[in-house]
Amino acid sequence: MGEHRYLIALGSNVRHPHHGAPAAVLRAALAALRRDAIQVEAASPIVASAPLGPSRRRYANAVAIVSTDLTPQRLLAYLKHLEAQFGRRSRGSRWQARVLDLDIILWSGGTFASQDLAIPHPEFRHRPFVLQPACTIAADWRDPLTALSIRHLSTRLTRPQPAPRAHPSRTHSRHRGP
């Protein structure tokens, strides 16, 4: 089993009536993946992160490496179905609070594009809540568009940026008054 390998991001910032707090929702989602004959090869630790956009609730985030015979389109359909089982109503509103959010980040086939799916995920390079957990289980997996490893992308994103340096020719004025 497992013709394809995928890096999947998991997120939650709403309690589930049965599973409980967001971190427990992620653990239940990983268990559901295993029940549905998707091999979960590795799962990162669950981390807390600040919300993007207008939501006020903090997120629980994790990533998992899974292997399956499903094509990207079929895996996306399965993930949407799993989100709905956990109570997610629509995918239309960006940055809304949600019980479960599952995104395909990377896959072993390199790039993939269709009307409703782009792999690599278009925003993952800018999301520490994806890159930092991914470093714990997939640090050497490379982005097929930049050829940079997850570790390198995470370092670029989280490394403190130096203050801009003044150009030497601009530090001393050549004009000395009127």
1-29 tens-digit pLDDT: 569 999 999 999 888 888 889 999 999 99
* Residue 26, CA atoms < 13 Å, CB-side half-sphere: 23
- Spans of all domains in the chain: 4-157
Q: Are 106 and 148 in contact (CB under 8 A)?
A: no
Phi-psi region of 37 (alpha: psi -120 to 50; beta: other; left: phi over 0): left
Q: Does pTM surpass 0.85?
A: no
Q: Which of 77, 85, 63, 49 is nearest to 137 (CA)?
A: 63
Q: Are 98 and 25 in contact (CB under 8 A)?
A: no
Say yes or no to pLDDT of 167 above 60: no
Element (H, E) at 63: strand 59-68
Superfamily of domain 4-157: 7,8-Dihydro-6-hydroxymethylpterin-pyrophosphokinase HPPK (3.30.70.560)
Say yes or no to pLDDT of 92 above 60: no
Q: Are 132 and 124 in contact (CB under 8 A)?
A: no
Q: Which of the pair, 97 or 33, is modelled with greater confidence?
A: 33
| Interval 128-146: pLDDT, tens | 999 999 999 999 999 999 9
**What pLDDT does residue 87 have?**
83
User: Which letter does DSSP use for residue 120 in this model?
Assistant: S
Q: Which of 98, 43, 134, 119 is nearest to 90 (CA)?
A: 98
